[in-house]
Structure 1
Amino acid sequence: MSNFLEDLALTDDDLRAARERSEINRVRKNFLAKGAAASGIAWPDIEPLPDSLKAVEPFAMALLPDSLRPWAQDIANRVQCPPDFIGATIIGALGIAIGRRVGVRPKLRDDWTEYANQWVCIVGRPGVMKSPAMSAVLAPVKRLDMEASQRFEDELALHESEAKIHKMRQDAAEKKAMAALKKNPDAAVSLHESEPLEPPKLTRYLVNDATVEKLGEICADNPQGVGVFRDELVSLLKGLDRDGQESARGFYLTGWNGNDGYVVDRIMRGHQRIEAVCLSLIGSTQPGRLSEYLRSAIGGGAADDGLVQRFGVLVWPDVPRETWENVDCWPDAEAKHAAHAVFKRLIDADPVETWQAEIPVGPDGEPDGNPPFLRLSPEGMEIFVDWRTEHENALRGGDLHPAMESHLAKYRKLVPSLALVLHLANGGTGPITDYAMNQALAWAAYLRSHAERAYGSVLVAEVSGAKALLRRIKAGDLADGFSARDVYRNQWSGLENREAATKAIGVLVEYGYLVAEAAETGGRAKSVYRIHPGARK
């Protein structure tokens, strides 16, 4: 026998594999020989495997401010994309326009404050027009950014001219003093003393690609908040997962809240104090990339710190399967002008004079330096308290997956900040109305269904492998008492490696198709899997 194996030129690995197969076959035969033992297994009830992604609520134009609905409908029609892409981006763009200039205090007396900035994630397959939709909606913000840049260039030119004159006056004063002292060393002289001229600051509304250091400088000059647009969002998130990016990740976590300042101390870069970091983050990604990333959030990986859960405005709509039409028409000029006017009105508004916001004061009765704020109207307050009571109790019920629980916990900010955005975009002033609060709660219900689809997609991705394995079981390709190695060594599609095979087996165990048992093989114990009698039907 030994000479025969040597003639076949088998390696030591081949011999070990042969012995392992022989041992596994021995275990299998032992199982099959014990028919009575097999019938004695307490088989669980088989549950059907999930067929597809969870259903989501459709987008309704009633979720948007009245003045922006025709514009949103026109873009969705011309771009031919799900209206969800348009609506979600509009909410993010409005959050940029309002920023941190005014807050909302959802309690009657408490100083708990939230701001209008939103984190938006649009999910869709390649080619479903995510980028054109977002680009069309962000056009008003880009225009504001361009106008601010032009103003800055004019202000900078004026500053440079004034700085030259300022320097000339200083030089002239020094020369005059020097001449006087040459004639009389004890003469009384004075220099031209004045505060140095501060250079103008560039107002920013939208940043596309910036290092966190540069983004910090932009935030220092723009305490009202800035928007960050990333077409491929998961690339940004994965970049923040890398070793050495902990401070950058912390910066983004701070920016979601909008409430806190940020201090940077570096040996080479020195000291930088940022009054407030308020970031509105807008981007898109593909379903597979999001599901892969969410697996880390669910499985306790690097992403399990609540960063991805901060994308409260996450939409993953169904893409209609109707035949594509070539829509070639002029944009609705009236709707477009009305939309641009809304953004211009929000940018130009004075929080106190226009929106009738209150100025926060400290214990001494003097302004404490924080932005003005609006409270809820009595009717809006009653609606919000009823919703939050139910919401908080549900979070404490223990029925939610920790990742989903963390996501929904962020709705404490999402709902009041959405109410603030919708109230001001609708032209409201003073306390936030019950209409705006009901509109915000309608958003919350809609967005929750999309969040459930996103987090559920992790399981659906694993279920696809489980279904492939179940097909192999029904075809008789696996015997009762098989191991994970028996699966992945066959290199079947979707089950090519140990990780994929293990996940597929785990899903079938969870749904009752398999039962795991420990088999003694003379060495360490191995897990083998018994096939439910009903699994082959």
Structure 2
Amino acid sequence: MITEDNKAHAGSIGLSQYIADFRLATFADVVGHNTLESLLSNGVLNSVIYLGRDITIFTGALAGEKQIHTAGTIGLLTVNNQAETVTLASIPLEDNGHVFISDTDIPSAFVIGTMSEDSKWIIIADLAQAVRCYNAYRKLCIDVTVLTCLVPSLFNQTVKHFAEVQQVTIITTSDKKAKVITPLKGVNVEAIICEHTLIYDALEFDADYDDLIADAEVIDLQALGKPKPKPISQTLPPVKTLTSDMMPKLLWDYASNSAERLSVPIEYVLMPLMVSLGSLIGSKLSIYPKMYDNWEVVPNFYGAIIGNPSSKKSPSLSDGLKPLSHLVALAKEKYDEDKLEHDTQKELNKHMTKAAEKQLSDLAKKMATQTEDDAEINQDDLKAKAQELAEAKQSDELIPEIKRYVTDDGTIESIGELESKHKNGMLVKRDELTGWLASLENESNQQARSFYLEGFNGLGSFQVDRIGRGSVFIDTHCLSVIGGIQPDKLEYYLSKTMKGLGNDGLIQRFQLMVYPDPLPNSKERDLPPDKQSRDAIYNLFETIDSMQLGDFMRYGASPIDEYHKRPYYRFNDEAYQEFMNWYDALKLRASEAEHSIIAEHLIKYAKTVPSLALVFHLADCIEHGTSLGAVNMNALKAALAWCDVLESHMMRIYSTVTDSANIKASYLADKIMKMVRKGTDKTDKTDWISHGFTARQLIRKGWKGLNDTDDVLNALEILVEHDWLNWQEIPSTAQGGRPTERYSINSRLSELL
């Protein structure tokens, strides 16, 4: 605190009121002092006063000094980092005069400029150098605020004070580099190191600013004091892809052509194709994986393709199911023909019935009136005519039924009726599986959940009870399911399942579930379908659809007997030994799995692998037109290769929950790196690079995977641990309220670019 000698009460009224007793300095007061003249010419008037009297210092290092001679000097008002006037500096007009600060305990600087957040803050110790610097930058129309320390010994203290609110810049030469870096390492300072001449000195001689900056070394001193950020792990585990050597050629040719035309991963087409092929075979054919055991497997599958809304899941499902849709169309044509034939015959029967009824009536009358001696009509004649009439009426009731292969949105009652009529099984297709899964979570829908759980086995029976309409008994309950789902919605479902709620094995039944990477730089294609591969796959489906017991036997299947209800295959000796070795290894890996849901999923590959091998073997037999004997190593190796690919997708899918925190952290890391690449936007008042952010601000962004509070906090914690972010608790204000938790972005992230 300062006061005039004859105004002792000034200590209680403050600096701002005290300096009001002095007038502002004029050009006449500073005539001959080039620096001060230039200062006033720049419009810095309200901060420059003329000290016409001596003052007394009451606080700080100079407290108690009674004879500070300030009369006839120029006073510069200095401010803190909140732009509040806190001290007074006395500048003598003589070149050898003593400069002093009224209170050296308070960090402050004399400001040339506006202290705007949008300006570049440059801090300089010497007033003359500060004025020259300001003039040089303003000449180039660069918005700067020059902070003048005035006392060299207080320079570092002043820098640290103003760096608390905004980055400040220090301009120095290479010979003084160490003196700047060493004491200020870790402080929010940009150091511009020039080789010999300071930038503003060179600008006085019309040097090019861009060239000067390009030649200078620019160092972020705050980054030097921060740890180097550690890389964040990949967002999702890598997945493998299916290749042409993993399946019969006609399956690959059709799927690859469809995937190329749609610009989608081939798995998007292969999953619905394989599920529909397995549903077509259904319970008509089976495989016994073991040589002697009665463990029987039928090739029905549950499958799903996972992708974002723009990933073309629906067109891929449609193309994968087209061979089955072709059978649906053929069945509709046959039904229309049969229905026309039935209606025609019914119309004929209507007239024939009338005639037959009259004939029967006449015969009955005649028989009733005839005598034994002249009997022309006997009981057999009458009975034959009545039977003819009954058969005509019965044929009217035999209404043709369309053969069904797939249902889109059936209830378990309607699906059960379809299964009871079409004995080999049924495919349930859902374009979006989210609603289907949600419906099965309902407590009132537990019978439907059991319906789908048991339908995966494909060999058991099931009874559907209907209120008021009796029951439907399904002798062989064999279901296949296919659909698409978005990753975030599947993640929500999985998170509940993996926490033990409703973990009854439903999701683990989705063995043909894939989550492939989108194709890089995929562009829209306009290619014609490959007619040859399409006709080949259509022919395969038609052939399997029409096959009976004898047809399967001609292709090497064993016949039915008292112990086997359907034709079946086994592995040959070589494939059997390979399968058994693989099965033992599978059980070991399942027992060592980190999570029970993964173990349960793994162990169900014991059904998937023989099912795939059976489908591949039958397709090979049909393609070659001959029996290939028992299921061989070619089919088994292809099935095992599929299993290897499917397992990589399974691990990716479950990692969305098991490694959720790291995945969310990587999502946030990607967003932050995009900000770092873009750089600070000075027009953005909420720029996170410069000012940091809060968890609430992050949640409000609504970014993918980062709109749940727990997910956001977990991601932030990981980024703090990896030194991407720094956490700081900002105390509440004088008005009260809770402290604010704020996260600042490590400026060294640019080193990871």
Shift of 1:250: 1.2
Give the structure 2 partner of residue 22 of structure 1: none
Give the structure 2 partner of residue 419 of structure 1: 613
The alignment partner of 2:476 has SS state of coil
Give the structure 2 partner of residue 327 of structure 1: 525
Higher RCO (CA 8 Å, separation ≥ 6 residues): 1
Shift of 1:196: 4.7
Shift of 1:158: 3.5
Equivalent of 1:297 in 472, 479, 497: 497
Alignment check: 8 A CA contact 2:235 2:667 kept: no
TM-score by length of 2: 0.54
Decide whether aligned partners of structure 1 residues 161 and 72 sit closer, same or farther in structure 2, where only a CA change above 3 A counts. Answer: same
Residues 193-241 of structure 1: CA distance to partner in whole angstroms, max 9, x if unpaired? 6695544443212222222211111111111112222111122111121
Equivalent of 2:586 in 360, 384, 391: 391
Give the structure 1 partner of residue 122 of structure 2: none
Shift of 1:460: 4.4
**Alpha-carbon distance in structure 2 between the residues aligned to 1:329 and 1:465:** 38
Give the structure 2 partner of residue 445 of structure 1: 644
The alignment partner of 1:117 has SS state of coil
Question: Does structure 1 residue 81 correspond to structure 2 residue 264?
Answer: yes
1:401-416 equivalences under 5 Å are 401-416=595-610
Equivalent of 1:234 in 431, 434, 445: 434
**Alpha-carbon distance in structure 2 between the residues aligned to 1:73 and 1:254:** 33
Shift of 1:95: 0.9
Question: Does structure 1 residue 266 correspond to structure 2 residue 455?
Answer: no
Shift of 1:430: 3.2
Question: Does structure 1 residue 105 correspond to structure 2 residue 285?
Answer: no
Give the structure 2 partner of residue 210 of structure 1: 410
Equivalent of 1:350 in 535, 548, 571: 548
Alignment check: 8 A CA contact 1:52 1:460 kept: no
The alignment partner of 1:231 has SS state of strand
The alignment partner of 2:484 has SS state of strand
**Alpha-carbon distance in structure 2 between the residues aligned to 1:462 and 1:172:** 85
Shift of 1:81: 0.8
Decide whether aligned partners of structure 1 residues 402 and 171 sit closer, same or farther in structure 2, where only a CA change above 3 A counts. Answer: farther
**Alpha-carbon distance in structure 1 between the residues aligned to 2:273 and 2:543:** 15
Equivalent of 1:52 in 229, 235, 250: 235
The alignment partner of 1:327 has SS state of coil
The alignment partner of 1:353 has SS state of helix
Give the structure 2 partner of residue 250 of structure 1: 450
Equivalent of 2:276 in 60, 70, 93: 93
Give the structure 2 partner of residue 30 of structure 1: none
**Alpha-carbon distance in structure 2 between the residues aligned to 1:131 and 1:241:** 24
Give the structure 1 partner of residue 353 of structure 2: 168
Shift of 1:372: 1.5
Decide whether aligned partners of structure 1 residues 456 and 149 sit closer, same or farther in structure 2, where only a CA change above 3 A counts. Answer: same
Shift of 1:153: 2.8
**Alpha-carbon distance in structure 2 between the residues aligned to 1:496 and 1:140:** 41
Q: Which has the larger radius of gyration?
A: 2
Question: Does structure 1 residue 400 correspond to structure 2 residue 598?
Answer: no
**Alpha-carbon distance in structure 1 between the residues aligned to 2:707 and 2:638:** 48
Give the structure 2 partner of residue 521 of structure 1: none
The alignment partner of 1:268 has SS state of coil
Question: Does structure 1 residue 64 correspond to structure 2 residue 237?
Answer: no
**Alpha-carbon distance in structure 1 between the residues aligned to 2:723 and 2:648:** 27
Matched to 1:87, the amino acid is L
**Alpha-carbon distance in structure 2 between the residues aligned to 1:508 and 1:300:** 29
Decide whether aligned partners of structure 1 residues 270 and 172 sit closer, same or farther in structure 2, where only a CA change above 3 A counts. Answer: farther
Shift of 1:468: 8.8
The alignment partner of 2:240 has SS state of coil
Decide whether aligned partners of structure 1 residues 421 and 168 sit closer, same or farther in structure 2, where only a CA change above 3 A counts. Answer: same
Alignment check: 8 A CA contact 2:305 2:514 kept: yes
Identity %: 29
**Alpha-carbon distance in structure 2 between the residues aligned to 1:232 and 1:183:** 74
Question: Does structure 1 residue 337 correspond to structure 2 residue 528?
Answer: no
Q: Which runs of 5+ in 2 are unaligned?
A: 1-228, 371-377, 622-626, 673-688, 725-740, 742-747
Shift of 1:312: 0.4
**Alpha-carbon distance in structure 2 between the residues aligned to 1:305 and 1:47:** 40
Shift of 1:123: 0.9
Decide whether aligned partners of structure 1 residues 54 and 147 sit closer, same or farther in structure 2, where only a CA change above 3 A counts. Answer: same
The alignment partner of 2:293 has SS state of coil
**Alpha-carbon distance in structure 1 between the residues aligned to 2:667 and 2:236:** 17
Decide whether aligned partners of structure 1 residues 215 and 467 sit closer, same or farther in structure 2, where only a CA change above 3 A counts. Answer: same
Count of residues in Structure 1 that have an aligned counterpart in Structure 2: 456
Shift of 1:50: 4.0
Alignment check: 8 A CA contact 2:275 2:482 kept: yes
Matched to 1:437, the amino acid is L
More off after superposition, 490-499 vs 253-262:
490-499
Question: Does structure 1 residue 308 correspond to structure 2 residue 503?
Answer: no
**Alpha-carbon distance in structure 2 between the residues aligned to 1:131 and 1:139:** 12
Residues 448-494 of structure 1: CA distance to partner in whole angstroms, max 9, x if unpaired? 000000000124444355579999xx99999xxxxxxx967996657
Shift of 1:357: 1.8
Q: Which runs of 5+ in 1 are unaligned?
A: 1-45, 479-485, 514-528, 530-535
**Alpha-carbon distance in structure 2 between the residues aligned to 1:353 and 1:468:** 55
Shift of 1:138: 1.5
Matched to 2:656, the amino acid is S
Shift of 1:322: 2.2
More off after superposition, 336-345 vs 378-387:
336-345
**Alpha-carbon distance in structure 1 between the residues aligned to 2:328 and 2:499:** 40
**Alpha-carbon distance in structure 1 between the residues aligned to 2:653 and 2:321:** 24
**Alpha-carbon distance in structure 2 between the residues aligned to 1:114 and 1:259:** 8
Equivalent of 2:479 in 279, 285, 296: 279
Decide whether aligned partners of structure 1 residues 476 and 402 sit closer, same or farther in structure 2, where only a CA change above 3 A counts. Answer: farther
TM-score by length of 1: 0.74
**Alpha-carbon distance in structure 1 between the residues aligned to 2:596 and 2:234:** 24
